């Protein structure tokens, strides 16, 4: 396809929106699958219960308070010990499950306690749990030992893990341990230490693919075959994206591989993976459809029939969500059935395996701004997760279903719990097509 034709087609799918103030990577672009219909075409979007405020203390499910935990510096190198404390504090704060106590409140004599705790010393400051550990050299690397104590259980550790890591990989060991702490209390591991991938504008008419750790650390740009790279998704063995080539075509590529993974007539503008399946957005003759086939791109068949269909996302049970304007305005569909009926412009669905029940997250436009919403897979129980907090876009859900990520005009990438509470800015970057590795 000629480059000018490809550019016009892409312009129909990517409508520029004003640059987010103060963000490091920017200009958010919103795929437009159709113009919004007339007022009254759908019922109004719901309001958030926490309208206009950012909740920093969460009572999950409205039934219990946060578990108060003290994170102490491990015995060993002071710089590494500080890194452990900072990483665990960050993880536990973002989890919406723990209240991390201020180290200035600690009254226990850590040196005399050694590999144990004096419960009364911690009980006096309100601590319910304590994290302790040791870091020692081992060969060319480090031996990291971390322990969890539950004050009500006495002086012995209830959880102990050991890791042998390279000198620069202590944070990874801490994330693993923090996931085990979550598992101890809930029965299923946390999702700390994963990656988020997204596309962001890098220059006029240019987009790149970026990755950042789920606590906001380690932002980096991934290598792509062209300076127009869109809609990343995590698939077999790595990150995939739609890349624009000099001849005006858009094909599917994998980071680290200069050859196209899938070539197809028309323009490939998006991809999603679920189990052994792949879904592609393919634009032909001014329309875009969802095609589904094997994870290697084989056996593709069209599952939508004309119009503009975008943003595919697979659910844990193999369900396929996407955005379509077949009802007149862009709405969320699951396996061909419309599931969003409120608002006139909903897009970017993502499944979330919330421990309280599977949800679909999406962004909806309310006036001049966008907000994050959730609903049951069938469309019921719709809730607004953000409101009166700028524009909030492109939700992604952690693999354990306990955290939601999204971009906000408040200045970057935010995390919250599935109710939209405990909103925490983790990085001053924004973009589009946000995906959480592993989900």
Three-state SS sequence of 361-406: EEEEEECCEEEEEEECCCCCCCEECCCCCCCEEEEEECCCCCCEEE
Q: What is the pLDDT of residue 65?
A: 87
Cα separation, 47 vs 325, whole angstroms: 24
Q: What is the pLDDT of residue 309?
A: 96
Cα separation, 87 vs 413, whole angstroms: 18
Identify the burial level of 414 via C-beta atoms within 10 angstroms of its C-beta, where 0-12 means exposed, 13-18 middle and 19 or more buried: buried
Q: Distance of CA 302 to CAs 241, 251, 299, 424, Å? A: 20, 17, 10, 40
Q: What is the pLDDT of residue 366?
A: 82
Q: What is the pLDDT of residue 331?
A: 95
Per the CB < 8 A criterion, the answer to whether 415 and 397 are in contact is no
Half-sphere exposure (CA, 13 Å, Cβ side) for 142?
Answer: 23
Per the CB < 8 A criterion, the answer to whether 255 and 266 are in contact is no
Instruction: For residue 319, count other CB atoms closer than 10 A to its CB.
Output: 15
Per-residue pLDDT of the chain (439 residues; tens, 9 = 90+): 444 445 444 444 443 233 333 344 433 333 333 333 333 345 677 777 654 443 333 333 444 589 999 999 999 999 999 999 999 999 999 999 999 999 999 999 999 999 999 999 999 999 999 999 999 999 999 999 999 999 999 999 999 999 999 999 999 999 999 999 999 999 999 999 999 999 999 999 999 999 999 999 999 999 999 999 999 999 999 999 999 988 889 999 999 999 999 888 899 999 999 999 999 999 998 899 999 999 999 999 999 998 999 999 999 999 999 999 987 899 999 999 999 988 889 999 999 998 888 999 999 998 889 999 999 999 999 999 999 999 999 999 999 999 999 999 999 999 999 999 999 999 999 999 999 998 8
């Amino acid at each position: 396809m000629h480059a000018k034709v490809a550019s016009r087609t892409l312009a129909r799918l990517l409508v520029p929106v004003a640059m987010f103030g103060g963000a490091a990577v920017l200009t958010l672009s919103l795929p437009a699958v159709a113009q919004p219909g007339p007022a009254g075409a759908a019922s109004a979007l719901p309001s958030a219960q926490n309208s206009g405020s950012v909740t920093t203390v969460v009572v999950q499910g409205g039934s219990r308070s946060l578990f108060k935990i003290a994170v102490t510096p491990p015995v060993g190198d002071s710089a590494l010990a500080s890194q452990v404390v900072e990483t665990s504090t960050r993880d536990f704060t973002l989890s919406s499950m723990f209240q991390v106590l201020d180290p200035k409140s600690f009254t226990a004599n850590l040196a005399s306690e050694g590999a144990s705790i004096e419960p009364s010393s911690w009980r006096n400051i309100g601590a319910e749990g304590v994290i302790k550990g040791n870091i020692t050299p081992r060969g060319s690397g480090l031996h990291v030992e971390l322990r969890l104590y539950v004050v009500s259980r006495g002086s012995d550790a209830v959880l102990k893990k050991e890791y042998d890591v390279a000198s620069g990989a202590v944070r990874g060991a801490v994330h693993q341990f923090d996931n085990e702490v979550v598992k101890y209390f809930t029965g299923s591991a946390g999702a700390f230490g994963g990656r988020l991938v997204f596309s962001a504008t890098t220059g006029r008419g240019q987009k790149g693919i970026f990755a950042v750790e789920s606590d906001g650390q380690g932002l980096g740009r991934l290598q792509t075959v062209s300076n127009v790279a869109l809609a990343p998704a995590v698939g077999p063995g790595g990150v995939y994206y739609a890349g624009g080539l000099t001849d005006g075509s858009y094909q599917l590529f994998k980071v680290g591989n200069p050859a196209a993974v899938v070539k197809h007539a028309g323009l490939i503008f998006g991809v999603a993976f679920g189990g052994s399946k792949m879904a592609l957005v393919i634009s032909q003759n001014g329309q875009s459809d969802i095609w589904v086939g094997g994870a290697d791109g084989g056996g593709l068949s069209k599952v939508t029939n004309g119009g503009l269909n975008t943003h595919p996302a697979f659910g844990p049970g193999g369900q396929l969500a996407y955005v379509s304007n077949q009802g007149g305005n862009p709405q969320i569909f699951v396996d061909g059935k419309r599931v969003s009926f409120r608002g006139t412009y909903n897009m970017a669905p993502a499944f979330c395996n919330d421990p309280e029940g599977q949800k679909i997250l999406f962004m909806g436009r309310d006036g001049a701004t966008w907000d994050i919403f959730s609903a049951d897979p069938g469309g019921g129980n719709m809730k607004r997760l953000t409101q009166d907090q700028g524009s909030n876009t492109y939700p992604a859900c952690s693999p354990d279903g306990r955290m939601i990520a999204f971009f906000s005009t408040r200045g970057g990438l935010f995390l919250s719990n599935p109710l939209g509470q405990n909103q925490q800015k983790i990085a001053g970057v924004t973009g589009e097509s946000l995906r959480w590795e592993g989900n």
